[in-house]
Amino acid sequence: KGSSRVFSGIQPTGVPHLGNFLGALENWVSLQEQHSSVLYSIVDLHSITQPQDPTLLRENILDMAASLLACGIDPEKVILFQQSQVSEHAELSWILGCLTSMPRLRHLPQWKMKSKVKQEGSVGLYTYPVLQAADILLYKSTHVPVGEDQVQHLELAQDLARIFNHHYGDVFPEPCALLSSTRKVKSLRDPTNKMSKSDPQKMATITITDSPDDIALKIRRAVTDFTSDVSFDPERRPGVSNLVTIHAATAGISVDEALRGAAGLDTGAYKTLVTEAVVQRLQPIREQIHRLRAEPAHLEQVLSRGNSRAKELASPVIAEVRHRVGF
């Protein structure tokens, strides 16, 4: 796949949770093997659409960098970089914003959701899908791994590529979605909702640096139901099915194989098996995160090299854009 280019970003929210890992990051790792040109960005410009403490943000960026490396992202195979350090993102975002109508943004799902909670969202929150489009187009990316929740944002990027090309001549390819795994990890406390870092219940979310004891406790407290055997039926038995999903994904086996392993076990005993699978999968990652976090200078160096490489790709594109626009 010579001419393909993959772009994806993740907000520096600190150490990822099991849902991020199984739903997104494992896929990121396999994409780096399948495509020759891949960029992964820690999108700190996006993160300030919500209030951030500067000291904590700086820590969170390094936590995310360490986590990505520990999960298997290889900076020799991909460009791993920090969005804010490549100022072309902000510049292209401004230009694309001038091609975006207000109503086009009003109906996007994240704005609807987050501005409702906040009453008054910022301009940054409102226009952040434009910045997302800039992130993608800045590298003339062709493929973007997205979850279903991001499909409408990718459609904006496609529209903006078309609109820009229409106004100023062909510059951007229209990026297409790489619909990533439909694997959704649910909250351990309310398995009708997804596992999320914003869940106020601590016991609901497994973080990839959780200790084996923490993992065991959280899984022991996981909501199941009044049936004692193990089966996979996400509609009627969301709690138990979530454990099967987690077991299969962390052990690298199919759901059927997981169920075979659960034969004869009640949900209580099965939780021990699931715990073992999760602990085994996360243990080396957790240890590697701790090693990497002890050497922040190394992490900064990895990011700094990624930033330069990203900038090298971005600057001729921005030069072309500026010229087309008439600057």
Q: Which residues are catalytic?
A: 114, 194, 197
Indicate the residue among 183 and 309 with the shorter CB distance to ligand ADP: 183
197 belongs to the binding site for ligand ADP (CB under 6 A): yes
Report, in Å, the least distance between residue 212 CB and ligand ADP.
21
Task: Identify whether the C-beta of residue 248 lies closer than 8 Å to the C-beta of residue 257.
Answer: yes
The region of 12-20, 33-41, 75-83, 243-251 touching ligand ADP under the rule CB under 6 A is 12-20
Residue 29 φ/ψ region, left for φ over 0, alpha for ψ in the -120 to 50 degree band, beta for the rest: alpha
H/E stretch holding 94 reads helix 88-97
195 belongs to the binding site for ligand ADP (CB under 6 A): yes
68 belongs to the binding site for ligand ADP (CB under 6 A): no
Interactions with ligand ADP, residue window 132-151 (CB under 6 A): 147
Please give the backbone phi and psi of residue 98, each rounded to the nearest 5 degrees, phi first: -75, -10
- How far is 160 from 166, CA to CA, in rounded Å? 10
- Residue that is written with structure tokens 């596992």 in the block: 195
114 belongs to the binding site for ligand ADP (CB under 6 A): no
Burial of 67 (0-12, 13-18, 19+ CB in 10 A): buried
Indicate the residue among 48 and 265 with the shorter CB distance to ligand ADP: 48
Indicate the residue among 77 and 197 with the shorter CB distance to ligand ADP: 197
23 belongs to the binding site for ligand ADP (CB under 6 A): yes
- How far is 44 from 62, CA to CA, in rounded Å? 11
Tokens representing residue 288 in the block: 């590697």
Tokens representing residue 167 in the block: 């106004």
Report, in Å, the least distance between residue 18 CB and ligand ADP.
8
64 belongs to the binding site for ligand ADP (CB under 6 A): no
Residues in contact with ligand ADP by the rule CB under 6 A:
10-11, 13, 19-20, 23-24, 147, 183-185, 194-198
